[in-house]
């Protein structure tokens, strides 16, 4: 009797996981599949056919901390941008790196390796004693503070000034910046964040990132974020384009210096102020490679997971349990079906059917991701491992965030003073 009950529970769990994956697939298509996407706009023109103001000023700020292995490709792609006659400048704001981030760039600048516009490297120095600055809030704030001291030749008083904060692990296509500015002008956006295409390199990324991307698409639907009457706010931190006057109206990064997930905080501040948020998919124009290895992935997601769920312990634990059930559950049933086939050959198909349906739906989700987002199928059969990793991330994130122990970003403690 006990074995029969256990079998029925496993069957129910298997079919529940399959149903959950089907719901996930349909919900992704309804939310992310039909989400607004930014395409390439010719430099100097907006989508509405109006000429973009070539006198506008675009200040591109790249906060960097120990980015020696990635900064050159990021900067090189930015300097290859097609911006027509727009007046722009590029500043790499170094957050007191301990590697050769600054020295490498300065050597290339001195050698004349970078074309116009001039690339400037700002050394922000150590963080002020007695002040709490989290993540990239300090270099972003310092770069903006010093921008007025970097005059643009023959400025137009009527020109709009834009601030673009872009992470060093992002690579942009040549039309990306012009397209973003044109769309912000056309839509009247005060903040225009773009969600990049996620590129996976190491095994840890292949097993975890596709699941995370799917969850983010459901947790922060773009339609609601773009609705001015809906309080939902979301922003993709790697690419955030602000109208400078609006950025200053909310106090910029300085007003949110201690925020660990500063992109969400900035987006919420924009909407709370009654300003316009325009969140788009930018997967045709920019690419993001987040984590080079498992250690950095673990540090990054245990830093953010609990915060992204508003520090709600039940919701955080539930998210880990749901991911475990959806992505690890079908593979566990497949294993049990194999063991059952050896011992009880007459009953084994009962577990095999929901297991195979669940695995097939996992493949369907990855095929959908390849179709809509260009995310490859590599290692898709290791979804069970991704489920286990995320199930472990959830409780560890609660512990780190609540106690401050081991709560770091790139080795820097995030623990409050």
- The pLDDT-based confidence of 222 (bands split at 50, 70, 90) is confident
Tell me what pLDDT residue 45 has.
Answer: 53
Domain with CATH 3.90.550.10 in the chain: 57-196+236-289
Question: How remote is the C-alpha of 110 from its chain's centroid?
Answer: 33
Distance CA 306, CA 260 (A): 11
Closest to 308 (Cα-Cα) out of 354, 345, 259: 259
* Residue 93 or 39, more confident: 93
By residue count, the chain amounts to 417
Q: Select the highest-mean-pLDDT range: 170-174, 254-258, 375-379.
A: 170-174
Distance CA 316, CA 41 (A): 40
Tell me what pLDDT residue 349 has.
Answer: 65
Distance CA 226, CA 134 (A): 27
The residue-averaged pLDDT of 219-234 equals: 87
| CB 271 within 8 Å of CB 211 | no
Tell me what pLDDT residue 47 has.
Answer: 46
The residue-averaged pLDDT of 88-116 equals: 83
Angle at 325 between CA 208 and CA 366, to 5 degrees: 45
Where does residue 101 rank: exposed (0-12), middle (13-18), buried (19+ CB within 10 A)?
A: buried
- The CATH class of 57-196+236-289 is alpha beta
- The pLDDT-based confidence of 263 (bands split at 50, 70, 90) is very high
Tell me what pLDDT residue 135 has.
Answer: 86
Distance CA 16, CA 18 (A): 5
Using the predicted structure, report yes or no on whether residue 152 has a pLDDT greater than 80: no
Rounded to 5 degrees, φ, ψ at 154 are 50, 60
**CA torsion sign, 104 to 107 to 111 to 115?**
positive
Q: Convert the pLDDT of each residue in 321-336 to its tens digit.
A: 999 999 999 999 999 8
The predicted model scores a pTM of 0.89
Tell me what pLDDT residue 54 has.
Answer: 58
End-to-end Cα spacing for the chain? 57
The residue-averaged pLDDT of 283-289 equals: 95
- The pLDDT-based confidence of 34 (bands split at 50, 70, 90) is confident
Tell me what pLDDT residue 344 has.
Answer: 60
Closest to 212 (Cα-Cα) out of 200, 230, 226: 200
Phi-psi region of 23 (alpha: psi -120 to 50; beta: other; left: phi over 0): alpha
């Amino acid at each position: 009797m006990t074995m029969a009950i256990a079998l029925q529970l496993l069957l129910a769990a298997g079919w529940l996981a399959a149903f959950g994956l089907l719901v996930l697939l349909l919900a992704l298509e309804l939310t992310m599949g039909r989400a607004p996407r930014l395409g390439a706009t010719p430099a100097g023109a907006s989508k509405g056919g109006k000429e973009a103001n070539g006198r506008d000023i675009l200040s591109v700020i790249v906060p960097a901390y120990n980015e020696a292995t990635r900064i050159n490709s990021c900067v090189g792609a930015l300097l290859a941008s097609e911006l027509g006659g727009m007046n722009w400048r590029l500043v790499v704001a170094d957050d007191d790196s301990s590697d050769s981030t600054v020295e490498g760039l300065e050597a290339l600048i001195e050698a004349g390796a970078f074309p116009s516009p001039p690339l400037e490297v700002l050394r922000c120095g150590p963080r002020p004693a007695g002040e709490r600055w989290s993540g990239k809030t300090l270099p972003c704030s310092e770069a903006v503070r010093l921008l007025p001291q970097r005059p643009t030749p023959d400025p137009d008083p009527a020109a709009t000034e834009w601030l673009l904060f872009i992470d060093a692990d992002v690579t942009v296509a040549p039309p990306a910046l012009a397209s973003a500015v044109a769309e912000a002008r056309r839509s009247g956006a005060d903040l225009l964040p773009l969600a990049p295409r996620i590129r996976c390199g190491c095994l840890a990324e292949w097993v975890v990132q596709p699941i995370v991307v799917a969850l983010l698409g459901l947790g922060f639907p773009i339609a609601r974020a773009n609705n001015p009457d809906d309080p939902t706010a979301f922003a993709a931190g790697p690419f955030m384009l602000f109208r400078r006057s609006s950025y200053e109206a909310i106090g910029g990064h300085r007003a949110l210096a201690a925020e660990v997930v500063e992109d969400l905080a900035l987006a919420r501040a924009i909407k709370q102020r009654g300003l316009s948020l325009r969140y788009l998919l930018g997967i045709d124009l920019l690419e993001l490679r987040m984590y080079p290895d498992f250690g950095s992935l673990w540090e990054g997601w245990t830093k953010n997971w609990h915060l992204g769920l508003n520090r709600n312990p039940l919701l955080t634990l539930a998210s880990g349990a749901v991911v475990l059930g959806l992505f690890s559950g079908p593979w566990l049933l497949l294993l049990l079906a194999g063991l059952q086939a050896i011992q009880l050959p007459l009953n084994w198909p009962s577990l095999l059917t929901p297991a195979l349906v669940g695995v097939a739906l996992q493949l369907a989700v990855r095929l959908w991701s390849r179709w809509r987002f260009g995310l490859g199928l590599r290692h898709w059969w290791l979804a069970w491992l991704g489920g286990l990793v995320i199930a472990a991330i959830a409780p560890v994130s609660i512990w780190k965030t609540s106690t401050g122990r081991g709560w770091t970003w790139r080795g820097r403690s995030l623990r409050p003073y």
